Structures are given as C-alpha cells and as structure tokens.
Structure 1
Amino acid sequence: MSSSSLSPTAGRTSGSDGDSAADTHRREKRRLSNRESARRSRLRKQQHLDELVQEVARLQADNARVAARARDIASQYTRVEQENTVLRARAAELGDRLRSVNEVLRLVEEFSGVAMDIQEEMPADDPLLRPWQLPYPAAAMPMGAPHMLHY
C-alpha cells in the first residue's frame, strides 16, 4: 500500500479543505442530530426536574397535613387529660361528700334508732367506674370459628 492511500484525504477530489460534499453533508446531519438529541435530553431532564419539584411540593403538603393532625391529636390528648384531672378531682370530692353524708346518717341512725341505708364506699364492682373493662368476661371463640378468619 502506498502512503497516499492511507492518508485521510486520499480519494477526495472536490470540496474545500479536501472534504467532499457527501462528507460535509454527513457531518452537518450528525451535528443537527446531536443538537436535536441534546435538546431532547434537556427536555427530559427539565420534565424530570418539574416532576421532582411537584413531588417535593406534594410531600411538603402531606407533611404539613400530618403535622397538623399530630398537633390536633396532641391538643385533644391534652384536653382529655385536663378533663380527666377535673373528673378525678370531682370523684374525690364526691367521695369526701359521701363519707360526710354517711357520718351524718350514722349520727341520725344512732340518735333516732331508725336504720339507715348507709353505703360505706362506692362499690368496687361498679362497671361504670371501670369503662375500659367489660362488665362480663369475654366469651371464648367456638371451635368451629377459625374457618371464619380465612380470607
């Protein structure tokens, strides 16, 4: 092989700087194709960025809703705790009043001789005093019931 056949400009006969019209056309097409590909890539990146910005906004809104709900629940908890404190104080006050009334009834019973129905304390088995407990034991599940739990 001769050195002229290995040179990059070998076989080119026309065009400026030794380029043929076909080579120039191919380079121009490739340049335009690359430019269009870069434009599409920028558009995809911009769309992805827009989606991420929307997701950030949605997540921030969700976080704000969750935080507001947590504040509401904390506020309700505080309110219920305050109500419970008031109710406990009221129950203690009523217990004291019951003891005082019982003492008066004992005195009346002692001096009058008439039997009085004196309730010493609030009954310990009163289900209204234990609302978190059932007034009756929970029934055991019948043996045939496990099939009811299958989905």
Structure 2
Amino acid sequence: MKKLFLLLLFGFALGHAQEAAIKNKLLLESDFKTQDGRMLVSEFPCQFSNNKVLISVICKTQAFKEFGIQKINDMILFAHDKIRNTIPVGYGYKPSEIKMSYNPEAKAWSMTSLFASTDAAGMTRENLLALDFDNNGKFLLMKKIF
C-alpha cells in the first residue's frame, strides 16, 4: 500500500512539473543580443500561466554575466506572483508586458509590468506597476503608476 501511495505521489509530482514547464516559457541566454556593450532582448514573447507576455530587458554585458539569466527569470516570476497577489479575489489578471533594466550607478534593477484586471462585473482596466530589486535580485518595493 505504501509503494502504491508513493507511486501515485510521484506520478502527481511529475505531472505537475510537466504542467508548470508548459505554462511558463521564460528567457534563455540565447534570446539576448549583444549591442554596444549591452545585453538586450526586446518584446520577446514568453508564456506565464497561459498568457503571452512580451518581455524586454537591457543591461550592461558585465552585469548580465555577473547576474545571470536565472536570476532575471526569477525576478520576472517573483513580480508576476507578487502582482497577481495584489489583485482582489474574484478579479481576472492578464499580464501583457514586462520591461526591465539594470542601473549600474544605483546597482539596482527596475521593472515595469503592464497588465489588465477584470472585476466581477466584467469591467477591464489596464494597470502599470513599477518594481525595484537590488543588485542581488532581492525585491525592494512596488509602486503603482496607473
């Protein structure tokens, strides 16, 4: 009985992992282009939770090498979850665009996230939030722009 339970648990975990892999398609290092000492990706289509999101990132090549693509993707996913958690229960959330950049003087990352929220009555409103992260990718603060 214990072996059957563990087998079922393993199957469920494997299925969940495959579902998560299908839902989230994020940036790869090969998606970036090098231009004038900077690494950039512009309006690259990614997939989060069945929504196509256009992502743009720009930073100095050295910062990209030090920081790495995994931390960039981690910040994007963190922001996605943080914003979704600010939406009231019963509202719809549809992200559409994320733009982020690294400021070498401030040693910090800035990100804007454009998304639509739909209330229970079906009224849709566009929102823009700004999120700041430190040099290590740690979340600092979130500000509403509109």
Question: What TM-score do you get using the length of structure 2 for normalisation?
Answer: 0.25
Higher Cα radius of gyration: 1
More strand by share: 2
Higher relative contact order (CA 8 A, sep 6+): 2
Question: What TM-score do you get using the length of structure 1 for normalisation?
Answer: 0.25
